[in-house]
Amino acid sequence: MARCNIPALIIVLFLLGCQPKQKESMMDENSFFKQVPSWASKVVWYQIFPDRFENGDSGNDPDKESLRGAWPHDAESPWQLSPWTADWYKLQPWEKENGKDIWFNIQRRRYGGDLQGIINKLDYLEDLGIGAIYLNPVFQAPSLHKYDGACYHHIDVHFGPDPEGDLQRMAGENPVEPSTWIWTEADQLVLKLIKEAHRRNIRIIFDGVFNHMGITSFAFQDLLKNGKKSAYLEWFSVTDWDTPGFLGAPFTYEGWFGVAELPELREDENGIVEGPRQYIFEATRRWMDPNGDGDPSDGIDGWRLDVAFCVGHPFWKAWRSHVKAINSEAYLTAEIIDPPEKVLPYLQGDEFDAVMNYNFAFIAHKYFVNRRDKITPVRFARDLDSLLNTYPLETLYVMQNLYDSHDTQRLLSALANPDIGKFENWGEFFGKSQAHNPHYNIRPPEDKETLKIHRQMIVLQMTFVGAPMIYYGDEAGMWGANDPCSRKPMVWPGRQYEAETTRPNQSSMPPVPVAFNRELHDFYRKLIHFRNDHPALQTGDYEVVVADNDGGLFGFRRQSGNDVVMVLFNSSSRNQPFSIHEKHTFL
């Protein structure tokens, strides 16, 4: 037995030697993964917001006309592509001309990120240790986020090399007749991205936004033009044909949570109705088996489903069967932010393989981020156990364990704003964590104690049960309040970025340097590769070894065969003794 001291506010990883006696493992991998793809337990995910990741082709940059149809509906006042390295809150000269505030102008900004930029950075992701990419929407749409799809069967033309040519090529199609669909230059470039990613053993999933489309979609535009005579009459829910609606529409209709730019697809007892349902199924097949030869290796590896809780269960059951018939190893993950017991019905093996595991983030915030209402190590251990005991066993290993995304504040900013509310109270917290909250700290944390906690959280993410998911730039040290400020342009090494010296109200503040954080990147990289090298952290058992309120200690053990890793966290302000009975090596 060895006795060691765990330093204050430090995590310690122990790599233990071969064990003389093994307890029965949670699972035999060869027979265990029946409902979910086993590869999804072995990867570290990386989420990419395309417009903000990398501009690899300046010749395809968005123009002012491409903004038409997107909030805030200003395609007339002066506009230019936003400079990648500029002070985030500082209004550019052309933005000042429209007389509007920063929040109006941020929604008009485009930075030119594209598919070529992602291809150019695949080597960076491979070196980091990334095994799978989740792409925010890439289909044709006017907004910066592209959750307002104009269609599902074409990649946005400004993500490809020939925007004008692609628009001309698409014009001759019948959108609901797959035999007329062509492969645009942008479509072909995304196939190249998939091929190049697969060559590096990196999987890719697309964002499926099937609850709603955008007002520029072919179906909604036809409805605006032809009214009750439209071929797409049954696709949307018109609530009043006689009352004019949004932006001069001759009728009113249902939009997602009342957002008029996002007209919802109509549902019946089977979920999404037949017309859009069939279109979605055809588009799904297109991206999963592009050449239609029955071999899905040239297609995407799965889907992330936006606002999946807004679509009826019968649709997801039928759609899953369709997806798995194309590729039995496809991975399906959903955006469902409800408590675990409400998430559970989606994870019974007939809808989704996993969800974006926000409930993991909620629990971690209570322990690491909160200060006034910080939970104890015993409560932390109990809450994590409760989460693990809620879901089917094989599902646990493929859950996407994230701390932040395009819909939250970034992790560093969360640590700089520890007591603004409860993360799990999604709607209320969303507003409190935005930079228009006058009490929100828009600067990153700088004190050593908080930065140590930050590293503790990274270690937990990389060692807990489930597949870690990093939001682009977290490894580079990026910070930012909730949407839209969590969507800043990626900070790359070797570039000179303006310091942040401007507050949202355009007053000045002491400068905050913006630069690629090499030390943090290397910390992420080391842990990602450590996880990739150890089956215990991918599919191993999980057992709490200490939860001590008085000492501030929490720790667990992961084991798969002879591969054993022990992780200890000291959240107290003093060193704590801990006894280890096995041979071990400090990491």
Tell me the average pLDDT across 307-327: 98
In a domain, 438, yes or no: no
Least confident interval from 9-18, 380-389, 446-455:
9-18
* Residue listed under structure tokens 């919802």: 264
pTM of the entire predicted model: 0.95
pLDDT of residue 575: 79
**From CA 83, how far away is CA 53, in angstroms rounded?**
13
Q: What percent of the chain clears pLDDT 70, i.e. is strictly above it?
A: 93
Beta-carbon count within 10 A of 379 CB: 15
Distances (CA, A) of 196 to 202, 471, 503: 9, 21, 41
Give strand ranges (E) for 87-188.
132-135
In a domain, 424, yes or no: no
pLDDT of residue 3: 58
Closest CA to 555 of 44, 1, 16, 41: 16
Please report how the helices 274-288 and 313-326 are oriented relative to each other, as an axis angle in degrees rounded to 10.
Answer: 30
Chain CA centroid to CA 205, Å = 11
- DSSP 8-state symbol, 465: S
Q: Is the pLDDT of residue 145 over 70?
A: yes
**From CA 304, how far away is CA 356, in angstroms rounded?**
9
In a domain, 510, yes or no: no
Q: Is the pLDDT of residue 21 over 50?
A: no
Cβ-based neighbours of 513, under 8 Å, separated by 6 or more: 499
Domain that holds residue 251: 213-264
**Exposure pattern of 32-55 as b/e (b: 16+ CB <10 Å)?**
bbeebbbbbbbbbbbbbbbbbbbb
Q: Are strands 553-560 and 467-471 parallel, antiparallel or unpaired?
A: unpaired
Beta-carbon count within 10 A of 573 CB: 9
In a domain, 230, yes or no: yes
Alpha helices (runs of H) in 200-243, residue ranges in sequence order? 218-226
**From CA 220, how far away is CA 232, in angstroms rounded?**
7
Tell me the average pLDDT across 188-204: 99
Mean pLDDT computed over every residue of the chain: 94
Per-residue pLDDT reduced to its tens digit, 464-508: 999 999 999 999 999 999 999 999 999 999 999 999 999 999 999
Give 583's pLDDT tier (boundaries 50, 70, 90): low
**From CA 65, how far away is CA 44, in angstroms rounded?**
38
Q: Is the pLDDT of residue 585 over 70?
A: no
Tell me the average pLDDT across 457-462: 98
In a domain, 257, yes or no: yes
In a domain, 48, yes or no: no
Per-residue pLDDT reduced to its tens digit, 94-121: 999 999 999 999 999 999 999 999 999 9
Per-residue pLDDT reduced to its tens digit, 205-235: 999 999 999 999 999 999 999 999 999 999 9
Q: What percent of the chain clears pLDDT 90, i.e. is strictly above it?
A: 90
Considering only CA atoms, give the Rg of the chain: 24
Is 283 within 8 Å of 235 (Cβ atoms)?
A: no
In a domain, 241, yes or no: yes
Give 574's pLDDT tier (boundaries 50, 70, 90): confident
Give 20's pLDDT tier (boundaries 50, 70, 90): very low
Is 527 within 8 Å of 462 (Cβ atoms)?
A: yes
In a domain, 313, yes or no: no
- DSSP 8-state symbol, 97: T
pLDDT of residue 472: 99
Q: Is the pLDDT of residue 409 over 80?
A: yes
Give 6's pLDDT tier (boundaries 50, 70, 90): low
Q: Residue 558: what are its φ and ψ, rounded to 5°?
A: -115, 135
**Helices and strands of the chain, counted as H and E runs:** 19, 21
Per-residue pLDDT reduced to its tens digit, 517-570: 999 999 999 999 999 999 999 999 999 999 999 999 999 999 999 999 999 999
**From CA 587, how far away is CA 13, in angstroms rounded?**
5
Per-residue pLDDT reduced to its tens digit, 159-193: 999 999 999 999 999 999 999 999 999 999 999 99
How many Cα atoms within 13 Å fall on the side-chain side of residue 437? 20
The neighbouring-strand residues paired with 271 are: 268
Beta-carbon count within 10 A of 326 CB: 15
The 3-state secondary structure of 495-509, one letter per residue: CCCCCEEECCCCCEE
pLDDT of residue 31: 56
In this structure, is the dihedral angle defined by the CA atoms of residues 355, 361, 366 and 367, taken in order, positive or negative? positive
The neighbouring-strand residues paired with 207 are: 304
Per-residue pLDDT reduced to its tens digit, 237-275: 999 999 999 998 999 999 999 999 999 999 999 999 999
**From CA 489, how far away is CA 124, in angstroms rounded?**
16
- In the chain, how many domains are there? 1
Look up the CATH number of the domain holding residue 230.
3.90.400.10
